[in-house]
Structure 1
Amino acid sequence: MTPALLITAQSIGLVTTEAFRALADRAIGFGAKVPLNEKEVSASWLADALGVPRTAIESVTVVDAHSGTANRARLAVKSDTHLPDSLFLKLPPRNYLQHVLMNVFRLGTKEVLAYGAFGDDPPVRTPRCYLAVEDTLRRRNVLLLEDLSATAEFRTVVDAVTVAEAEAVVDALAGLHARFWNTDRFDGDLWELAQRSPAEIRLGDLIRRKFIGTITGHTAGIIPDDQKRDCRIFFERSADIDAFWASQPRTLIHGDTHLGNLFFEEGRPGFLDWQVAMAWPGIRDIAYFVTASLEADEARRIERELVRRYVTRLGDHGVDTDGDHMWTLYRAAITEPWLAFVCTAEAGERMQSFEISRVGVERAVAAVEAHDSFTVLRSLIDAPSSIPAG
């Protein structure tokens, strides 16, 4: 068997393993450390999980719940502890296939690790985390978070930010990235955020080929033919792309900085849903945010200044970077939100509503066209030592 076929077989084995794990997990509930759904969250379980006497938690009531890439619920809690009266709960998704997907790509594991990495002093505003636990055998995860529904403003991808809000997000991301810039924790307690197995990489290539090898979904008509052709680089040369980005300084990034994963409190940004947190060059978060969260004309008007601001803020935190180099990386990194939005649109409404996915694709297409981002990316992986000035 050739190496490529072996890795493909390993990818199929990975999916099969996690499919059986999720199936068995749902069928055999006895002995689980983490609830499978919000109905299993009792006062006694919560007390045990928090390490407090069972008498300290009087009651836990589910106020509302819904499930997508994770199962989310709002809880009313009566207790004699430090817990507030209302909490936000995240558990494995109810849908079986989404449960398998979460296991395959370790989405719950990454979010638990991210909250654990922040500790009691997060470098960015996140919901306060009261509990972050994983059952490693079942690969179930539970997060018990601050309920922001009464204090925060939430938006979706179809919305946009003001210039002041964009600057505030860039400042916040610079603080996050500076905290973990080239940290040796990626070889220690955060190693799972820095590693992908060959099977995971190959599986990603197969998924990309399925979604963007031939683009036929509801946004196909707004994607230029040259972008449909150039995007094949994502599965034809994924190893080269990964090798280039791995050669750059890495930090802890959020990985999915669109407006649906942000909230605002009196203009101050906060970040939700850390399921794709990873060790990667920080400029990816900036490119993703600007591309997804600003109207195209406004993004083109202010994006260079936002990248300069990012470089300056990193410097304020003691991280020295080259502004021209960072700008070139930004232009190449715009291909990442393009990939995410086009794949989401190709997956159909089971992943995202057509209204939302279309806006994301429109903004990403405009950004790639303005910066010739696929050409920049190709030049970087062909000759990383001679980066174009841009």
Structure 2
Amino acid sequence: MGDRAVINASTVDAAWLTEALAAASNGARVTGFTAASIGTGQVGENVRFELAWDRDDPALPASVVAKFPSASDISREAAKLTGTYVREVGFYRDLRDHVTMTVPDVHRVEWDPDTHEFALLMNDLCDSEQGDQIAGCAVEVAETVIDEAVGLHAPTWGRTDEWRSFDWLGYPDAERTMQMTGLLQMLLPGFLDRFAERMSADDLDVGRLLVERYGRWSDLVTEWAEGPGDWCVTHGDYRLDNLLLGRTAHAPTVTVVDWQTVAVGIGPADVAYFTGAGLLADERRAHERRLVERYAAGLRNAGVEADDDTIWDGYVLGTASGYLMAVIASQIVEQTERGDAMFTAMAERPAEQMRDLGLLDRL
């Protein structure tokens, strides 16, 4: 990049697109483009670029998608403070080739560590559509999503010490627990106030308990990982809005995006996060044990020593993840009506899941 500033949504030009796509274009040049914002992300801005080329070649991409920092000053500052942008850049730059999960192909990564400006230029999955966290999904979709989780967790299971040099990849320790406790305690009052009219008193009390006992919960997770389970790389925000679901035979069934919360954690927590918020309560109750057994079998098929009971216990511990994310994320991004509806679902559904599976009694 030299001394040039990181490109952003307003300064993209044909020359930059040509340079960024050089490996995929066989010498062709972008001669023009149109740009349109896509998606519902509150932390980053996604833009689709429809491309015109200097030659007629069906092998050239008709469009690409770029991700930039959010246009919201609130969301940008929160992302800088919490390191969300550096983690997403880090995943695509440093970890993507270590996993088999289906993720977008990235043509260009730009990052400025001083300003936290970034640009990711990716292939356009135009035959896919974003999942809807509020509506939930069918069990058949959940099966495929859980299979994809194996592609992240199994290749990194028990290997996370290999990536200690990645200073952007958060590792569980006493300092991180203390920092998270402080953050949750600071943000909880705003969460309780905003959602007082949307959520029941019982569900709000779950949030109070989780924040009060966060240290105890972290200890249980660590005991699981350092005992019968293990640490692996986790997505951390594994939910429908962060998944692109294929609409045609030309698209992958599921593509996983939004890597702003990637960290070292326990794999079953990603699965619990997804099922807890992505399936409606009756569907979850009817199918979650089978889905967790499917996940455990997938791990074993990929070479991980994982028995069903151990993975189930990790899953139960992981049911707190979605609610905790709702507390944090709702308070550090710009408020929208859809966002509040989404965060409500991300708290209410896992609250019911935790009660069903007995996690609250263990805290």
Q: TM-score range by the shorter chain?
A: 0.7 to 0.9
- Alignment-derived partner of residue 301 in structure 1: 286
1:128 corresponds to which of 105, 109, 133: 105
1:182 corresponds to which of 134, 147, 158: 158
Describe how 1:70-219 pairs up with structure 2 within 5 A. Answer: 70-79=44-53, 84-117=61-94, 119=96, 123-149=100-126, 151-184=127-160, 186-188=162-164, 190-195=166-171, 202-212=178-188, 215-218=192-195, 219=198
Q: Does 1:41 align with 2:12?
A: yes
- Alignment-derived partner of residue 25 in structure 1: none
188-197 vs 206-215, which moves further? 188-197
Matched position secondary structure for 2:67: strand
**Distance in 1, Cα, partners of 2:49 & 2:152:** 29
Matched position secondary structure for 1:38: coil
Give TM-score, length-normalised by structure 2. Answer: 0.82
The one-letter amino acid of 2:82's match is F
Q: Does 1:251 align with 2:232?
A: yes
180-189 vs 131-140, which moves further? 180-189
1:374 corresponds to which of 349, 354, 360: 360
- Alignment-derived partner of residue 261 in structure 1: 242
**Distance in 2, Cα, partners of 1:318 & 1:370:** 31
**Distance in 1, Cα, partners of 2:203 & 2:139:** 29
The answer to whether the Cα contact below 8 Å between 1:254 and 1:274 also exists between their aligned partners in 2 is yes
- Alignment-derived partner of residue 356 in structure 1: 342
Q: CA RMSD in A?
A: 3.2
**Distance in 2, Cα, partners of 1:49 & 1:183:** 32
For structure 1, which runs of at least 5 residues remain unmatched after alignment?
1-29, 379-390
Matched position secondary structure for 2:31: strand
**Distance in 2, Cα, partners of 1:242 & 1:59:** 53
The answer to whether the Cα contact below 8 Å between 1:206 and 1:235 also exists between their aligned partners in 2 is no
Matched position secondary structure for 1:298: helix
Describe how 1:323-338 pairs up with structure 2 within 5 A. Answer: 323-338=308-323
**Distance in 2, Cα, partners of 1:298 & 1:224:** 20
Overall identity of the aligned pairs, in % = 24
Matched position secondary structure for 2:35: strand
The answer to whether the Cα contact below 8 Å between 1:217 and 1:345 also exists between their aligned partners in 2 is no
Query: Deviation of residue 146 (structure 1)?
Result: 1.4
The one-letter amino acid of 1:263's match is L
Matched position secondary structure for 2:303: coil
Query: Deviation of residue 257 (structure 1)?
Result: 1.1
CA spacing shift, 1:348–1:120, aligned 2, 3 Å: closer
Q: Give deviations 1:282-305, integer Å, cap 9, x for gaps.
A: 111100010011011110111111
The answer to whether the Cα contact below 8 Å between 1:311 and 1:322 also exists between their aligned partners in 2 is yes
Ranked by relative contact order (alpha carbons within 8 Å, sequence separation 6 or more), the top structure is: 2
CA spacing shift, 1:355–1:73, aligned 2, 3 Å: same
CA spacing shift, 1:223–1:148, aligned 2, 3 Å: farther
Give TM-score, length-normalised by structure 1. Answer: 0.77
1:233 corresponds to which of 189, 212, 224: 212
The answer to whether the Cα contact below 8 Å between 1:185 and 1:191 also exists between their aligned partners in 2 is no
